[in-house]
Structures are given as C-alpha cells and as structure tokens.
Amino acid sequence: MAPVQFSAAGVGAVAFATKGMASRDALRLPPPAAVRVLRQAPRPSRGLVVRAAAAIVAPKYTTLKPLADRVLVKIKSAEQKTTGGILLPSAAQSKPQGGEVVAIGEGRTVGDNKVEVSIQVGSQVVYSKYAGTEVELNDSNHLILKEDDIIGILETDDAKDMKPLSDRVLIKVAEAEDKTPGGLLLTETTKEKPSIGTVVAVGPGPLDEEGKRIPLSVSAGSTVLYSKYAGSEFKGSDGTSYIVLRVSDLMAVLS
C-alpha cells in the first residue's frame, strides 16, 4: 500500500477506540512533511525594472514627466579624486547631493490657490542626502524628489552663495575652539562641534494654508544658536564650514 502523506496545516494526534479491546492505542502519524518554499524567478518586465535601489526605465521610454510638486534632477557625478589628486575607489566616493534640474511638475494646490514649482529647469540644486527615488534614464542617473526635499539653489560653485529654499537658512558655522580653558591644544577630532553661527541667507519661508509665503523670523547677519546635530553641512571653496537647516532647528538669536 502506498504511504499516505499529510499536509503541514496542523495535523495532530488522532486517537480512536477499537470495540472489544482492553486498551486504546493511539494511531501515530508520520511527522508533517517539510515544506519547501521555492522563490519564483521574477518575470522580465517591459516597463519599469527594479535593480538594487534604483529603477531603470526601459529604452523605449525616453522622457519622464514629474507630477505635482516633484522635480527631476540629473545627478552630478561623484568625485573620483581627492583635492590632492588621489584616485578614490567606488566604495570611498561620497554620494553626490547635487545636480541639475531637467524637468519640473505642474505644481500643487494649497487651499484654493495653485502653487507652481519655484525652481526653474536648468538650476543647479542641492538636495537632502536620502531623499527621492533614483532612476536611470538614457544611461544617466537621475533623482525624482519633492520640491521640499531640495535644500537650496547654487548660484556658483561655492557653498557661501547657496540660496536656501522654503523655511531653510544658510549659516556660516563659528570656528571651533583650538584650546581648552587651560591652554591645551585640541586636535581636529577632539574639538567640540560648535552650534553657533551667523546667518548668511534665508529662504522665502513656508507656505500657509492659502498658499502664501510666511516670512522667516530671522534675517541675514543674525548670530544664532541651533540644534547640534541638525541640518546638512557643506564646505566653502576656502574651507569655511556652512550648514543649511530649517528655521525650526534654531533655538535662539544671540546678541
């Protein structure tokens, strides 16, 4: 007789009594068969293919139109050399946070007003490090992200000329103390990270419920105290440290 196999859906012990017998014998069943889950190979898609963390647009699609308040940014190539000319391996190359805007959405509706995207095509922008969705289009890496994820617009190649967007401010970070109160010299790794700086530029402000801009409460030239681990840091061409953060990360104005 061929063996009987039971599924793994929860077969327990089955007991029955035989009429005329002095004792009851439990019917022992073989343990549930092991269930092997085989992963089905994904079928090739003719549209959008997901590979690693980036989506690759199939060759038959040559354009991509962002919707609402989203923008499409062509990512700037990662630096392959240090400032001293040393070649960097792929693992050591820093992920770029900038690029060129190549397409914008039609905007969004706030209250009863239509608010257009304030960034123009062709602008060089800096965006939040982990924002957006990366796509490969026409053999180039792009990023689709919301307008609010863009930190600022670069007027030049120097961070000091960055134009912050929305409710963000650009701050020149105060220099860290080189010595302790006792006169001991501090190394770069032991210097305390400053949380004080001077406001260089401010954004136009956030939108209210009617789609109108609310001016920020600080202005260029103010010395401010900000949250220690907030914002995105940048280096100017002369080595000066800058930070861009939201006005909500400011704690006080110093005078």
Both 104 and 142 in a single domain? yes
Whether the model pTM is above 0.75: no
Q: Write out pLDDT tens, residues 30-39.
A: 554 444 444 4
**Domain presence at residue 39:** no
What average pLDDT is seen over the chain? 75
**Domain presence at residue 144:** yes
User: Which of the four pLDDT bands, split at 50, 70 and 90, describes residue 96?
Assistant: low
The pLDDT score that the predictor gives to residue 151 is 94
The pLDDT score that the predictor gives to residue 153 is 96
Both 142 and 179 in a single domain? no
Both 253 and 170 in a single domain? yes
Both 144 and 183 in a single domain? no
- Characterize 149-165 residue by residue with b for buried, 16 or more Cβ atoms within 10 angstroms of its Cβ, and e for exposed: bbbbbbeeeebbbbbbb
Q: How many domains does the chain have?
A: 2
The pLDDT score that the predictor gives to residue 145 is 94
Q: Six-digit token pair at 158?
A: 């120097």
**Domain presence at residue 240:** yes
Q: Which structural domain, as residue segments, surrounds residue 236?
A: 163-255
**Domain presence at residue 178:** yes
**Domain presence at residue 141:** yes
Q: Write out pLDDT tens, residues 185-235.
A: 545 554 556 689 999 999 999 999 888 899 999 999 999 999 988 899 998
| Statement: residue 100 has pLDDT above 70 | yes
The pLDDT score that the predictor gives to residue 131 is 87
- Residues above pLDDT 90, as percent of the chain: 44
- Domain end point (choices 121, 154, 187): 154
Q: Write out pLDDT tens, residues 60-84.
A: 678 899 999 999 999 987 654 445 5
The pLDDT score that the predictor gives to residue 163 is 96
The pLDDT score that the predictor gives to residue 29 is 47
Both 191 and 245 in a single domain? yes
| Statement: residue 89 has pLDDT above 90 | no
Residue 76 or 106, more confident: 106
